[in-house]
Amino acid sequence: MAHDKKIIVGNWKMNLDMHEASLYLHKLSQIVKVHRDVEVILAPTTLSLQSLSLQVNLRQFKLAAQNFYWRDRGYFTGEVSATQLRGIVQYGLVGHSERRHIFNESDKDIRNKVAAAIRNGIRPILCIGETAWEKSSGETFDVLHDQLIGALANITSQELDQVIVAYEPVWSIGNGQSASPSDVTSAVKAIRKQIEHLYGAKAAEAIQVLYGGSVTPDSAADYLALPGVDGLLVGAASLDAYIFSEIIKKAHKGSEVAKED
Ligand code: PEP
């Protein structure tokens, strides 16, 4: 099923301080009009989320947490919970490869985070993808299978409606080495097949699947045109409001709606 709305996520990672984040949002809101056919989601650092939540026009952009802890409250020094992010963000990244590989997040952590997000009314954007070594060993589909099973083990069919999956091959993140259209098409097909196996054909059609990995304004349209790709997760190219707006424009096909202040 082709979704009417494309999703474009900007993951700023550990970049932009609070002042820069606020200026960025101001600039982006001047450049990008409200598009009914594109959901634009900004994922700043946790530090900037609250102030941006007061500044953002939710008709224009939504906010995502890059990370959160899965317990709702308690003795967990330095952590922020999905419960605490309720009402501040609409989405949350889960299982980003930098969290899996630099911070050693396990399948269990990721499963708990998917559940915590849903429990707290936050839509999880579940990132999955193989490393270069796994790709060269022919293990891509096994990795996608295992990561999906691991993350969704406690999720009901009804809850699955809230989940977005992002296919992010680890070898293509942050290095300009984007995946080929045929790699992305076959990975997205494998993801939907696995969802069909777990939740049935309707769920497999309905789930929104994104691609992420060194997307630029030049490559965005080609990825967005691939069958089964509902949007993009963008890292480096989202750090400049103008460059990011060029990617958003590629996702926008319908009529522009004048921005309402
Ligand atoms: C990401 O951070 O998820 C990402 C895809 O980064 P980049 O676009 O820089 O590869």
What domains can be seen in the chain, in order of their start residue? 6-260 (3.20.20.70)
For 105, the token pair is: 């997040």
Q: Which residue has the higher pLDDT, 260 or 7?
A: 7
The answer to whether 238 and 61 have CB atoms below 8 angstroms apart is no
pLDDT digits over 146-185, tens only? 999 999 998 999 999 999 999 999 999 989 888 999 999 9
pLDDT digits over 100-140, tens only? 999 999 999 999 999 999 999 999 999 999 999 999 999 99
Which residues lie below 8 Å from residue 199, measured CB to CB, with a gap of 6+?
157, 160
Task: HSE, CB side, 13 Å, CA atoms: give it for residue 224.
Answer: 27
- Tell me which residue has its CA closest to atom 3 in ligand 1: 235
Among 96, 98, 105, 134, the one annotated catalytic? 96
Burial (CB < 10 A; 0-12, 13-18, 19+), residue 88, is: middle
Q: What is the pLDDT of residue 1?
A: 56
- Tell me which residue has its CA closest to atom 1 in ligand 1: 235
Asked if 168 is an active-site residue, the reply is: yes
DSSP code, position 132: H
- Tell me which residue has its CA closest to atom 2 in ligand 1: 235
Q: Which residues line ligand 1 (CB under 6 A)?
A: 11, 96, 168, 173-174, 212-215, 233-237
Best of 11, 14, 94 for a ligand 1 pocket test (most atoms within 8 Å of beta carbon) = 11
The answer to whether 230 and 186 have CB atoms below 8 angstroms apart is no
pLDDT digits over 54-86, tens only? 999 999 999 999 999 999 999 999 999 999 999
Residues 257, 71: Cα–Cα separation, whole Å: 40
Best of 215, 216, 229, 239 for a ligand 1 pocket test (most atoms within 8 Å of beta carbon) = 215
Element (H, E) at 30: helix 18-31
Q: Global pTM?
A: 0.95
Residues 242, 239: Cα–Cα separation, whole Å: 9
